[in-house]
Structure 1
């Protein structure tokens, strides 16, 4: 599987950039998100148990808005 950069948080500092990538999977469309690891106990309690091999991350809304714009423009 390969990853292609879609959008990086424009307000992040160098080296601390929540980022969204597209993958080239052929069995389903997926993205890879790089973000801040959620450690807040209240947020983790709200989410509930996280299966092994998964993580809860936080990414800026602006990065997600980019994906919506891309999808609406038909760039799949």
Structure 2
């Protein structure tokens, strides 16, 4: 599996930016998100139990726009 860079948070400093990648999986469409690890006790309590093989990350809305742009391009609805 490979990861293709889609974009990073334009307000983040170099080397510390939430980033979104698309994978080239053939069995399903997936994305890799690099973000801030969630450690806030209230958020962790709100979410509940997270399996050991998973983690919660926080990414800015600006980064999610890279997903929306790619989705629109693939569906042919990009303006």
Aligned partners of 2:20 and 2:66 also within 8 Å: no
Q: Deviations over 1:9-58 (max 9, x none)?
A: 01100111100000011111000000000000000011110011100000
Matched, 1:42 2:56: no
TM-score under structure 2 length normalisation: 0.89
Name structure 1 gaps, 5 residues minimum. Answer: none
Please list every run of 5 or more consecutive structure 2 residues that lacks an aligned counterpart in the other structure.
Answer: none
Aligned length: 75
User: Which of the two has higher C-alpha Rg?
Assistant: 2
Q: How big is the alpha-carbon RMSD for the aligned residues of Structure 1 and Structure 2?
A: 1.1
Residue 66 (structure 2) aligns with: 66
